[in-house]
Amino acid sequence: MGLLSKSIAKGYFRWSHQGNSAGLTLLECLVALFVIQAVVAVSAPLVVVAVSTRVQNQRADQALQVAQGEIDKIKTAVARGDDYRNEIDVPAANVTSRLDFTDAAKVPPPTTVLDNDDYKTNFQVAKAVFLDSDNQPDLAVQVFRNHIGFIDDVGADPNISLAVFDVGVRVYRADAVQDRAADLGVEQGTYGSAGQAIASDNLNRPLAVMSASVFKSDTGQSLCDYYDYLNATNAVGDPDFVRPENCS
């Protein structure tokens, strides 16, 4: 082979090697981009779920604080001497204890949200709670108490003070009450790291549900009132509690 042929052959092989190297590098870039896109596509839904769960958990914590604050306010008012006979609505005469609070037939969810004192006289009217400055309610608080015969029955002595009662509080998303009142439930929604916070049925369930017994304990009649309350809310067939001898 002549010198000219050898030079041409070396130039061809050099060009061919450089071309193959450049092509291989481009292919690696394309593969890397494909891997990155695949990772983003897989992780994006997980990020959305995590963010949604965090937001819902934060809202549930706020609702729990609101519910506890409502109960604490009522307890403080009763201890101060306020009479909640007409301040908290009684859903029905068959709602006699905290066990009845979980029955949607006896204590149905609220049907509307108001930013005034009407919620005190109608248990199906929820109190609006504002968490930010957008002038739109964020939470809706439903408050109710149990029926007590010697307090709430027709013809009951109006001079007897409401010294002991059970109070229930449910906290919903305000937009759920406003937009989906017919679909609301009464059992507290479940929230956790498994993505339960964005389950569709949670949107119609309370963010927080609490109940407590409230009683006035700083008067000489308090113990007698408590025994009267126990007997009035006793289950059918159960024996009455014996009141202390010094009870009038």
> Please, which residues have CB within 8 angstroms of residue 181's CB and are 6 or more apart in sequence?
109, 110, 111, 112
Q: How confident is the model at residue 194 (pLDDT cuts 50, 70, 90)?
A: very low
pLDDT digits (tens, 9 = 90+) for 119-170: 677 899 999 999 888 888 999 999 999 888 878 887 877 777 777 889 999 9
Please provide the average confidence, as pLDDT, over all residues in the chain: 77
- Three-state DSSP string of 51-115: HHHHHHHHHHHHHHHHHHHHHHHHHHHHHHCCCCCCCCCCCCCCCCCHHHHHCCCCCCCCCEEEC
* Stretch 106-111: mean pLDDT: 93
Q: Kindly give the pairing relationship between strand 208-215 and strand 164-173.
A: antiparallel
Please give the share of the chain, as a percent, with pLDDT higher than 90: 23
Which pLDDT score is estimated for 195? 41
Give the number of other CB atoms < 10 A from CB of residue 48: 12
Q: What is the pTM of this model?
A: 0.70
Residue ranges of domains in the chain: 39-232
Which pLDDT score is estimated for 129? 92
* Stretch 6-15: mean pLDDT: 51
Q: How confident is the model at residue 204 (pLDDT cuts 50, 70, 90)?
A: confident
* Stretch 194-199: mean pLDDT: 45
Which pLDDT score is estimated for 198? 47
Reported as type and span, the H/E element at residue 21 is helix 3-80
Lowest mean pLDDT of 39-43, 70-74, 147-151, 195-199, name the range: 195-199
* Stretch 90-102: mean pLDDT: 88
Which pLDDT score is estimated for 191? 62
Q: Residue 96: is its pLDDT beyond 90?
A: no
Q: Residue 232: is its pLDDT beyond 60?
A: yes
Q: How confident is the model at residue 211 (pLDDT cuts 50, 70, 90)?
A: very high
CA of 204: how far to CAs of 175, 184, 200, 228, in Å? Answer: 10, 5, 8, 38
> Please, which residues have CB within 8 angstroms of residue 99's CB and are 6 or more apart in sequence?
none
pLDDT digits (tens, 9 = 90+) for 1-10: 555 455 555 5
Compute the distance between CA of residue 114 and CA of residue 89 in angstroms, rounded to an integer. Answer: 15
Which pLDDT score is estimated for 45? 67
Q: Residue 248: is its pLDDT beyond 80?
A: no
Is pLDDT larger for residue 117 or for residue 78?
78
Q: Residue 183: is its pLDDT beyond 50?
A: yes
Is pLDDT larger for residue 194 or for residue 42?
42
Q: Residue 44: is its pLDDT beyond 50?
A: yes
